[in-house]
């Protein structure tokens, strides 16, 4: 849907953010007959399930998972959802870790599947919420400043807490609950290398690298004899310390450390560095028992940072938050 369309219909719910939490809530609410609109500032769905396509020199391309490399379940509720996705052939067990799952094609295909038949507006940034009588006025950025996008009875903000705080009207009761919640940044390096043998890499003891995922094997496809590709996640503490480094300096460091872990010279075909400003919650200084927050003014907050159990996988936390916030609307 075009981002310059201003909706003249009063919505039951407007959801800001098209990651797992926002899309899950939207799907649940739509199933109950609610008029729902999802607004997303990016060009597509994703969040923790974002993917990235990188071109290769021979006019081919490789697709990497840019967010979580794989996922699992701890709760019966999310396990039931994984079982359904598995039956629908949307996900497959991870070939090198069968207790984990990945999207059959790429992880972003999961959120695209959830988004089907939803009323979603991409490349649309909400800049202001204003209450008029009993309805919320949702304003979005426009070439001339801002425009009234639509009105709604309920607002769900399914973004990282810093972005949610900026959208909350001044003086809203939710502001003091989230203003001190911090999300750690994280650098992620994607790279394709040429090697005649499978690289043996152990990053478990590395102080600044959190994980290295061999993207070329996890979906069970036979890898090219010479091309291997990896997702390298830097540690949150190191990412925080280097958040203002030049990108070339960060990429050079991670590439050199990757090569050191391989214990051999590597032939890099292509690489891409991504900075997640809001990766994982570093603290949750609120007594939250519902996986979401709400207020009497009908603004609701949803996201993995509000999970009652932060030890679970971030994707599961986001899913549970989306389910929970939808139930109480």
CA torsion sign for 93, 97, 99, 100 is negative
For residue 65, the model assigns a pLDDT of 93
| Residue 131 CB partners (closer than 8 Å, separation 6+) | 137, 169, 297
Determine which helix (DSSP H) or strand (DSSP E) holds 133, and give its type and residue range.
Answer: none
- Do the beta carbons of residue 54 and residue 61 sit within 8 Å? yes
| Residue 206 CB partners (closer than 8 Å, separation 6+) | 257, 261
- Rounded to the nearest integer, the mean pLDDT of the chain is 91
Banded model confidence at residue 222, pLDDT cuts 50, 70, 90: low
What burial class does residue 229 get, using C-beta atoms within 10 Å of its C-beta: 0-12 exposed, 13-18 middle, 19+ buried?
buried
Give the domains, in start order, of the chain with CATH numbers: 10-181+289-327 (3.50.50.60), 183-281 (3.90.660.10)
Residue 79: pLDDT over 60 = yes
For residue 6, the model assigns a pLDDT of 62
Q: What is the pLDDT of residues 19-66, one digit of tens each?
A: 999 999 999 999 999 999 999 999 998 788 999 999 888 778 889 999
For residue 225, the model assigns a pLDDT of 67
What count of other Cβ atoms lies within 10 Å of the Cβ of residue 283?
12
Mean of pLDDT values over 271-283: 89
Residue 3: pLDDT over 80 = no
Q: What is the pLDDT of residues 223-271, one digit of tens each?
A: 566 889 999 999 999 999 999 999 999 999 999 999 999 888 889 999 9
For residue 287, the model assigns a pLDDT of 65
Residue 221: pLDDT over 70 = no
Q: What is the pLDDT of residues 291-308, one digit of tens each?
A: 999 999 999 999 999 987
Q: What is the pLDDT of residues 63-76, one digit of tens each?
A: 999 999 999 999 99
Residue 2: pLDDT over 50 = no
For residue 130, the model assigns a pLDDT of 96
Instruction: Round to the nearest angstrom and report the end-to-end CA distance of the chain.
Output: 25
Where residue 46 falls (left for φ over 0; alpha for ψ -120 to 50; beta otherwise) is left
Mean of pLDDT values over 188-207: 86
For residue 86, the model assigns a pLDDT of 97
Q: What is the pLDDT of residues 122-153, one digit of tens each?
A: 999 999 999 998 999 999 999 889 999 999 99
- Residues shown for the chain: 329
Residue 188: pLDDT over 70 = yes
Residue 5: pLDDT over 50 = no
For residue 223, the model assigns a pLDDT of 55
Banded model confidence at residue 182, pLDDT cuts 50, 70, 90: confident
pTM score of the predicted model: 0.92
Looking at the DSSP bridge assignments, the partners of residue 147 are: 140
Mean of pLDDT values over 172-200: 91
Percent share of the chain, pLDDT over 90: 72
For residue 269, the model assigns a pLDDT of 92
What count of other Cβ atoms lies within 10 Å of the Cβ of residue 289?
6
Give the span between the Cα atoms of 268 and 195, in whole angstroms: 9
Residue 4: pLDDT over 50 = no
Residue 1: pLDDT over 50 = no
Strand 10-16 versus strand 145-157 pairing type: parallel
Residue 201: pLDDT over 80 = yes
For residue 73, the model assigns a pLDDT of 95
Percent share of the chain, pLDDT over 70: 93
């Amino acid at each position: 849907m075009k981002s310059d369309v201003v909706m003249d219909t009063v919505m039951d719910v407007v959801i800001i953010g098209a990651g797992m939490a926002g899309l899950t809530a939207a799907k649940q609410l739509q199933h109950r007959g609610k008029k729902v609109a999802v607004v997303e500032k990016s060009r597509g769905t994703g969040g923790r399930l974002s993917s990235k396509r990188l071109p290769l020199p021979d006019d081919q391309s490789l697709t990497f998972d840019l967010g979580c490399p794989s996922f699992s379940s701890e709760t019966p509720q999310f396990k039931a959802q994984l079982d359904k996705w598995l039956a629908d052939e949307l996900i497959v067990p991870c070939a090198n870790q069968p207790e984990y799952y990945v999207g059959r094609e790429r992880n972003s295909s999961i959120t695209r599947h959830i988004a089907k038949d939803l009323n979603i507006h991409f490349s649309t940034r909400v800049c202001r919420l204003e209450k008029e009588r009993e309805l919320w006025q949702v304003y979005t950025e426009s070439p001339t400043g801002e425009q009234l996008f639509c009105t709604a009875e309920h607002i769900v903000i399914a973004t990282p807490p810093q972005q949610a705080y900026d959208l909350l009207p001044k003086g809203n009761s939710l502001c003091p609950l989230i203003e001190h919640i911090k999300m750690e940044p994280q650098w992620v390096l994607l790279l394709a290398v040429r090697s005649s043998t499978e690289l043996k890499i152990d990053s478990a003891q590395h102080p600044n690298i959190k994980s290295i995922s061999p993207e070329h094997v996890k979906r069970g496809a036979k890898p090219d004899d010479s091309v291997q590709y990896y997702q390298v996640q830097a540690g949150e503490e190191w990412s925080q310390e280097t958040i203002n480094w030049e990108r070339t300096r960060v990429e050079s460091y991670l590439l050199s450390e990757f090569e050191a872990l391989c214990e051999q010279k590597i032939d890099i075909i292509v690489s891409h560095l991504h900075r997640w400003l809001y990766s994982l919650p570093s603290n949750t200084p609120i007594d939250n028992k519902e996986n979401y927050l709400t207020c009497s003014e009908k603004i609701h907050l949803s996201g993995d940072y509000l999970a009652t159990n932060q030890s679970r996988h971030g994707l599961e936390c986001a899913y549970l938050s989306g389910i929970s916030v939808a139930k109480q609307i």
